[in-house]
Protein backbone atom coordinates (compact mmCIF):
# COMPACT_ATOMS: atom_id res chain seq x y z
CA UNK A 1 0.00 0.00 0.00
CA UNK A 2 1.22 3.51 -0.76
CA UNK A 3 2.64 5.37 2.25
CA UNK A 4 0.03 8.06 1.57
CA UNK A 5 -2.85 5.77 2.54
CA UNK A 6 -1.57 5.59 6.12
CA UNK A 7 -2.03 9.29 6.67
CA UNK A 8 -5.81 9.18 6.85
CA UNK A 9 -5.79 8.10 10.47
CA UNK A 10 -7.69 9.96 13.17
CA UNK A 11 -5.92 12.71 15.06
CA UNK A 12 -4.53 11.57 18.39
CA UNK A 13 -6.24 14.14 20.57
CA UNK A 14 -4.84 15.76 23.68
CA UNK A 15 -7.14 16.87 26.50
CA UNK A 16 -6.74 20.63 26.66
CA UNK A 17 -6.34 23.42 24.12
CA UNK A 18 -5.07 26.88 25.01
CA UNK A 19 -7.51 29.52 23.71
CA UNK A 20 -6.89 33.21 24.26
CA UNK A 21 -5.13 32.62 27.56
CA UNK A 22 -7.34 29.85 28.96
CA UNK A 23 -7.11 26.08 28.80
CA UNK A 24 -10.33 24.57 27.47
CA UNK A 25 -11.34 20.94 26.87
CA UNK A 26 -10.52 19.70 23.34
CA UNK A 27 -14.21 19.32 22.38
CA UNK A 28 -15.05 22.89 23.45
CA UNK A 29 -12.32 24.64 21.44
CA UNK A 30 -14.68 26.01 18.78
CA UNK A 31 -15.08 29.15 16.66
CA UNK A 32 -18.01 30.82 14.91
CA UNK A 33 -18.71 29.97 11.24
CA UNK A 34 -18.31 33.64 10.34
CA UNK A 35 -14.74 33.67 11.60
CA UNK A 36 -13.09 36.07 9.18
CA UNK A 37 -9.99 33.89 8.65
CA UNK A 38 -12.15 30.95 7.59
CA UNK A 39 -13.52 33.02 4.71
CA UNK A 40 -10.44 34.91 3.57
CA UNK A 41 -7.51 32.66 4.50
CA UNK A 42 -5.60 35.07 6.72
CA UNK A 43 -4.46 33.20 9.80
CA UNK A 44 -0.82 32.83 10.76
CA UNK A 45 0.42 29.63 12.32
CA UNK A 46 3.33 27.47 13.35
CA UNK A 47 4.14 23.80 13.61
CA UNK A 48 6.48 22.94 16.46
CA UNK A 49 7.62 19.59 17.85
CA UNK A 50 8.25 18.58 21.43
CA UNK A 51 10.49 15.54 21.93
CA UNK A 52 11.08 13.24 24.90
CA UNK A 53 14.38 13.81 26.69
CA UNK A 54 16.76 11.48 28.53
CA UNK A 55 15.44 12.71 31.93
CA UNK A 56 11.92 11.55 31.08
CA UNK A 57 10.63 15.07 30.51
CA UNK A 58 10.10 16.79 27.19
CA UNK A 59 11.72 19.67 25.34
CA UNK A 60 10.39 21.89 22.60
CA UNK A 61 12.63 22.16 19.56
CA UNK A 62 13.65 25.71 18.58
CA UNK A 63 10.68 27.30 20.30
CA UNK A 64 12.17 30.83 20.24
CA UNK A 65 12.64 30.69 16.46
CA UNK A 66 9.11 29.39 15.88
CA UNK A 67 7.58 32.12 18.07
CA UNK A 68 9.65 34.71 16.27
CA UNK A 69 8.47 33.46 12.86
CA UNK A 70 4.85 33.47 14.08
CA UNK A 71 5.21 37.13 15.00
CA UNK A 72 6.95 37.93 11.71
CA UNK A 73 4.13 36.25 9.78
CA UNK A 74 1.63 38.39 11.75
CA UNK A 75 3.69 41.52 11.08
CA UNK A 76 3.74 40.80 7.32
CA UNK A 77 -0.05 40.29 7.39
CA UNK A 78 -0.66 43.52 9.37
CA UNK A 79 -2.09 41.40 12.17
CA UNK A 80 -1.76 42.69 15.70
CA UNK A 81 -0.94 39.88 18.07
CA UNK A 82 -3.00 39.97 21.28
CA UNK A 83 -0.14 38.45 23.33
CA UNK A 84 3.58 39.10 23.60
CA UNK A 85 6.27 36.75 22.33
CA UNK A 86 7.13 35.78 25.90
CA UNK A 87 3.50 34.97 26.65
CA UNK A 88 3.24 32.74 23.58
CA UNK A 89 6.55 31.09 24.46
CA UNK A 90 5.28 30.28 27.96
CA UNK A 91 1.85 29.23 26.67
CA UNK A 92 3.41 26.60 24.38
CA UNK A 93 5.17 25.06 27.38
CA UNK A 94 1.99 25.30 29.43
CA UNK A 95 -0.01 23.37 26.82
CA UNK A 96 2.42 20.45 26.97
CA UNK A 97 2.49 20.46 30.77
CA UNK A 98 -1.32 20.74 31.08
CA UNK A 99 -1.73 17.73 28.78
CA UNK A 100 0.97 15.80 30.66
CA UNK A 101 2.72 15.15 27.35
CA UNK A 102 6.46 15.00 26.80
CA UNK A 103 6.06 14.46 23.07
CA UNK A 104 3.76 16.10 20.55
CA UNK A 105 3.19 18.57 17.77
CA UNK A 106 2.19 22.09 18.76
CA UNK A 107 0.03 24.24 16.54
CA UNK A 108 -0.27 27.91 17.53
CA UNK A 109 -2.61 29.82 15.21
CA UNK A 110 -3.62 33.48 15.26
CA UNK A 111 -6.74 34.43 13.33
CA UNK A 112 -9.28 37.19 12.79
CA UNK A 113 -12.41 36.23 14.68
CA UNK A 114 -16.03 36.92 13.71
CA UNK A 115 -17.70 40.32 13.84
CA UNK A 116 -17.59 42.03 10.48
CA UNK A 117 -17.46 40.46 7.03
CA UNK A 118 -15.69 41.69 3.91
CA UNK A 119 -12.12 41.64 2.68
CA UNK A 120 -11.30 44.93 4.37
CA UNK A 121 -12.75 44.06 7.78
CA UNK A 122 -10.31 43.89 10.69
CA UNK A 123 -11.85 41.79 13.45
CA UNK A 124 -10.21 41.12 16.82
CA UNK A 125 -7.30 38.69 16.60
CA UNK A 126 -7.54 35.49 18.61
CA UNK A 127 -4.81 33.03 19.40
CA UNK A 128 -5.04 29.31 20.02
CA UNK A 129 -2.40 26.68 20.77
CA UNK A 130 -3.30 23.03 20.36
CA UNK A 131 -1.17 19.91 20.61
CA UNK A 132 -1.59 16.34 19.49
CA UNK A 133 0.62 13.36 18.96
CA UNK A 134 1.89 13.24 15.37
CA UNK A 135 4.01 10.32 14.25
CA UNK A 136 6.10 10.20 11.07
CA UNK A 137 4.41 12.73 8.73
CA UNK A 138 5.45 10.94 5.53
CA UNK A 139 5.22 7.47 7.07
CA UNK A 140 7.67 5.44 9.17
CA UNK A 141 8.77 3.61 6.08
CA UNK A 142 9.31 6.88 4.25
CA UNK A 143 11.58 8.07 7.03
CA UNK A 144 13.77 4.97 6.64
CA UNK A 145 13.54 4.03 2.98
CA UNK A 146 12.63 7.28 1.27
CA UNK A 147 9.57 8.53 -0.56
CA UNK A 148 8.46 8.90 -4.17
CA UNK A 149 7.94 12.46 -5.30
CA UNK A 150 6.31 14.19 -8.26
CA UNK A 151 7.14 17.60 -9.64
CA UNK A 152 3.84 19.43 -9.40
CA UNK A 153 1.87 20.95 -12.23
CA UNK A 154 1.18 23.77 -9.76
CA UNK A 155 3.77 26.54 -9.47
CA UNK A 156 4.78 27.99 -6.11
CA UNK A 157 3.19 31.41 -5.75
CA UNK A 158 5.24 34.52 -6.42
CA UNK A 159 6.45 36.44 -3.36
CA UNK A 160 4.79 39.58 -4.68
CA UNK A 161 1.41 37.91 -4.95
CA UNK A 162 1.61 36.09 -1.61
CA UNK A 163 4.35 36.92 0.89
CA UNK A 164 5.94 33.46 0.93
CA UNK A 165 8.05 34.25 4.00
CA UNK A 166 4.91 34.33 6.11
CA UNK A 167 3.34 31.08 7.26
CA UNK A 168 -0.26 31.91 6.39
CA UNK A 169 -3.18 29.51 6.01
CA UNK A 170 -4.16 30.98 2.62
CA UNK A 171 -0.85 29.86 1.10
CA UNK A 172 -1.78 26.28 1.70
CA UNK A 173 -4.31 26.18 -1.12
CA UNK A 174 -1.25 25.93 -3.37
CA UNK A 175 0.16 23.13 -1.20
CA UNK A 176 -3.10 21.23 -0.78
CA UNK A 177 -3.74 21.16 -4.55
CA UNK A 178 -0.19 20.03 -5.28
CA UNK A 179 -0.24 17.40 -2.53
CA UNK A 180 -3.57 15.93 -3.55
CA UNK A 181 -2.54 15.84 -7.19
CA UNK A 182 0.61 13.91 -6.20
CA UNK A 183 -1.26 11.51 -3.88
CA UNK A 184 -3.94 10.80 -6.49
CA UNK A 185 -1.21 10.00 -9.01
CA UNK A 186 0.27 7.49 -6.55
CA UNK A 187 3.20 9.53 -5.23
CA UNK A 188 3.91 10.46 -1.61
CA UNK A 189 4.66 14.17 -1.97
CA UNK A 190 4.93 16.99 -4.51
CA UNK A 191 7.79 19.39 -5.19
CA UNK A 192 6.81 22.76 -6.59
CA UNK A 193 8.88 24.84 -8.97
CA UNK A 194 9.12 28.60 -8.59
CA UNK A 195 8.00 31.23 -11.10
CA UNK A 196 11.30 30.93 -13.00
CA UNK A 197 11.05 27.15 -13.13
CA UNK A 198 13.62 26.31 -10.45
CA UNK A 199 12.98 23.88 -7.61
CA UNK A 200 11.28 25.78 -4.76
CA UNK A 201 10.03 23.48 -2.01
CA UNK A 202 7.57 20.71 -1.23
CA UNK A 203 4.04 21.26 0.13
CA UNK A 204 5.20 21.23 3.76
CA UNK A 205 8.97 20.76 3.49
CA UNK A 206 12.15 22.35 2.20
CA UNK A 207 14.28 20.40 -0.25
CA UNK A 208 17.96 19.40 -0.19
CA UNK A 209 20.09 17.45 -2.63
CA UNK A 210 23.59 16.02 -2.40
CA UNK A 211 25.95 15.96 -5.35
CA UNK A 212 29.63 15.02 -5.11
CA UNK A 213 29.51 15.40 -1.35
CA UNK A 214 28.10 18.96 -1.43
CA UNK A 215 24.67 19.81 -0.03
CA UNK A 216 22.51 22.15 -2.13
CA UNK A 217 19.24 23.81 -1.15
CA UNK A 218 17.23 26.58 -2.85
CA UNK A 219 17.92 30.06 -1.39
CA UNK A 220 15.33 31.79 0.78
CA UNK A 221 15.39 34.76 -1.59
CA UNK A 222 13.65 32.54 -4.15
CA UNK A 223 10.36 32.82 -2.28
CA UNK A 224 10.26 29.73 -0.10
CA UNK A 225 9.38 29.39 3.56
CA UNK A 226 12.54 29.85 5.60
CA UNK A 227 12.34 26.52 7.35
CA UNK A 228 13.69 26.17 10.85
CA UNK A 229 14.57 22.53 10.19
CA UNK A 230 16.36 23.67 7.02
CA UNK A 231 18.45 26.07 9.05
CA UNK A 232 19.21 23.40 11.66
CA UNK A 233 20.37 21.04 8.89
CA UNK A 234 22.65 23.66 7.38
CA UNK A 235 24.25 24.10 10.81
CA UNK A 236 24.58 20.33 11.43
CA UNK A 237 26.10 19.77 7.98
CA UNK A 238 28.62 22.59 8.34
CA UNK A 239 29.59 21.32 11.79
CA UNK A 240 30.40 18.03 10.06
CA UNK A 241 32.47 19.89 7.47
CA UNK A 242 29.98 19.12 4.74
CA UNK A 243 29.88 22.04 2.31
CA UNK A 244 26.42 23.61 1.98
CA UNK A 245 25.39 25.88 -0.88
CA UNK A 246 22.14 27.80 -1.04
CA UNK A 247 21.70 27.78 -4.79
CA UNK A 248 18.92 27.47 -7.33
CA UNK A 249 18.73 24.26 -9.34
CA UNK A 250 16.44 22.86 -11.98
CA UNK A 251 14.33 19.71 -11.90
CA UNK A 252 16.76 17.82 -14.14
CA UNK A 253 19.57 18.60 -11.73
CA UNK A 254 17.41 17.11 -9.01
CA UNK A 255 16.88 13.96 -11.14
CA UNK A 256 20.68 13.50 -11.29
CA UNK A 257 21.38 14.07 -7.58
CA UNK A 258 23.33 11.47 -5.62
CA UNK A 259 20.91 11.92 -2.72
CA UNK A 260 17.83 14.01 -2.00
CA UNK A 261 15.77 14.63 1.09
CA UNK A 262 13.11 16.96 2.40
CA UNK A 263 12.79 18.48 5.81
CA UNK A 264 10.26 20.21 7.99
CA UNK A 265 8.96 20.14 11.53
CA UNK A 266 6.31 17.55 10.72
CA UNK A 267 8.31 15.60 8.11
CA UNK A 268 11.59 15.84 10.08
CA UNK A 269 14.22 14.52 7.63
CA UNK A 270 12.68 12.28 5.01
CA UNK A 271 14.82 10.83 2.22
CA UNK A 272 13.58 11.03 -1.37
CA UNK A 273 14.20 7.86 -3.36
CA UNK A 274 12.47 8.75 -6.60
CA UNK A 275 11.47 11.93 -8.45
CA UNK A 276 9.12 11.71 -11.45
CA UNK A 277 9.89 7.98 -11.70
CA UNK A 278 13.65 8.57 -11.87
CA UNK A 279 15.61 6.78 -9.18
CA UNK A 280 17.71 9.10 -7.03
CA UNK A 281 21.17 7.69 -6.33
CA UNK A 282 20.87 4.07 -5.23
CA UNK A 283 17.10 4.46 -4.66
CA UNK A 284 17.46 4.40 -0.88
CA UNK A 285 18.59 6.72 1.90
CA UNK A 286 22.08 7.97 0.99
CA UNK A 287 25.03 8.11 3.42
CA UNK A 288 25.07 11.89 3.95
CA UNK A 289 21.30 11.97 4.48
CA UNK A 290 21.64 9.12 6.97
CA UNK A 291 24.38 10.88 8.89
CA UNK A 292 22.47 14.18 9.08
CA UNK A 293 19.19 12.48 9.94
CA UNK A 294 20.82 10.51 12.73
CA UNK A 295 22.45 13.61 14.26
CA UNK A 296 19.19 15.51 13.93
CA UNK A 297 17.20 12.80 15.75
CA UNK A 298 19.82 12.66 18.49
CA UNK A 299 19.84 16.46 18.79
CA UNK A 300 16.08 16.79 19.19
CA UNK A 301 16.12 14.08 21.86
CA UNK A 302 18.80 15.83 23.89
CA UNK A 303 21.61 13.43 22.99
CA UNK A 304 23.90 15.93 21.26
CA UNK A 305 25.35 18.37 23.84
CA UNK A 306 26.43 20.70 21.03
CA UNK A 307 22.80 21.47 20.16
CA UNK A 308 21.11 21.66 23.57
CA UNK A 309 20.64 25.40 23.03
CA UNK A 310 17.93 24.39 20.53
CA UNK A 311 15.84 22.77 23.26
CA UNK A 312 13.44 24.39 25.70
CA UNK A 313 12.64 21.94 28.52
CA UNK A 314 8.95 22.04 29.36
CA UNK A 315 9.70 21.53 33.03
CA UNK A 316 12.76 21.75 35.21
CA UNK A 317 15.11 18.88 34.39
CA UNK A 318 14.86 16.07 36.92
CA UNK A 319 18.23 15.65 38.61
CA UNK A 320 19.87 12.23 38.83
CA UNK A 321 19.42 12.21 42.63
CA UNK A 322 15.73 13.01 42.39
CA UNK A 323 15.22 10.21 39.91
CA UNK A 324 17.08 7.66 42.04
N1 LIG B 1 7.88 24.75 3.55
C2 LIG B 1 6.54 24.73 3.78
C3 LIG B 1 5.61 25.14 2.72
C4 LIG B 1 6.06 24.31 5.04
O5 LIG B 1 4.76 24.30 5.28
C6 LIG B 1 6.99 23.90 6.03
C7 LIG B 1 6.52 23.42 7.37
C8 LIG B 1 8.38 23.96 5.74
C9 LIG B 1 8.77 24.40 4.49
C10 LIG B 1 9.43 23.61 6.75
O11 LIG B 1 9.49 24.56 7.78
P12 LIG B 1 9.98 24.19 9.26
O13 LIG B 1 8.90 23.40 9.90
O14 LIG B 1 10.20 25.49 9.90
O15 LIG B 1 11.23 23.40 9.14
N16 LIG B 1 5.27 22.73 7.34
C17 LIG B 1 4.51 22.57 8.56
C18 LIG B 1 3.09 22.15 8.28
C19 LIG B 1 2.79 20.73 8.00
C20 LIG B 1 1.29 20.44 7.99
O21 LIG B 1 0.85 19.53 7.27
O22 LIG B 1 0.53 21.09 8.73
C23 LIG B 1 5.24 21.68 9.55
O24 LIG B 1 6.10 20.90 9.19
O25 LIG B 1 4.94 21.82 10.74
What integer pLDDT is reported at residue 315 of this predicted model? 83
Q: What is the pTM of this model?
A: 0.95
Residue pLDDT, tens place only, 52-99? 999 999 999 999 999 999 999 999 999 999 999 999 999 999 999 999
DSSP 124: P
For the CA of 228, the closest atom of ligand 1 is 14
Residue 60 alpha carbon to ligand 1 centre in Å = 16
Taking 50 as the pLDDT cut, the residues of the chain under it are 1-6
What integer pLDDT is reported at residue 5 of this predicted model? 46
d(CA 226, CA 217): 11
For the CA of 46, the closest atom of ligand 1 is 25
Buried b or exposed e, range 92-125, using 16+ CB within 10 angstroms: bbbbbebbebbbbbbbbbbbbbbeeeeeeeebeb
Residue 105 alpha carbon to ligand 1 centre in Å = 12
Q: Is 167 assigned a catalytic role?
A: yes
Class of domain 3-134+312-323: alpha beta
Residue pLDDT, tens place only, 244-274? 999 999 999 999 999 999 999 999 999 999 9
24: number of Cβ within 10 Å: 14
Judge whether 166 and 44 are in contact, CB under 8 Å.
yes
Domains of the chain, by residue range, sit at: 3-134+312-323, 140-285
What integer pLDDT is reported at residue 12 of this predicted model? 86
Pairing, β 214-217 against β 244-246: parallel
Fold of 140-285: D-amino Acid Aminotransferase; Chain A, domain 2 (3.20.10)
Amino acid sequence: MAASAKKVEKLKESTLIWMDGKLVPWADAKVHVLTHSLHYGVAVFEGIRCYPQPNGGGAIFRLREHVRRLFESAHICLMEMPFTKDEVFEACKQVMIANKMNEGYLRPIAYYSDGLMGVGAVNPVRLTIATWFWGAYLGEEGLKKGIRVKISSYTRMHMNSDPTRAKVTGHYLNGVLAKREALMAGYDEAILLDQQGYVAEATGENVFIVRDGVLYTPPVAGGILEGITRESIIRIARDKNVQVEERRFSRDYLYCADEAFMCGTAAEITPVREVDDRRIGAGEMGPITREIQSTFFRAVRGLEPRYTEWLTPIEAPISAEARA
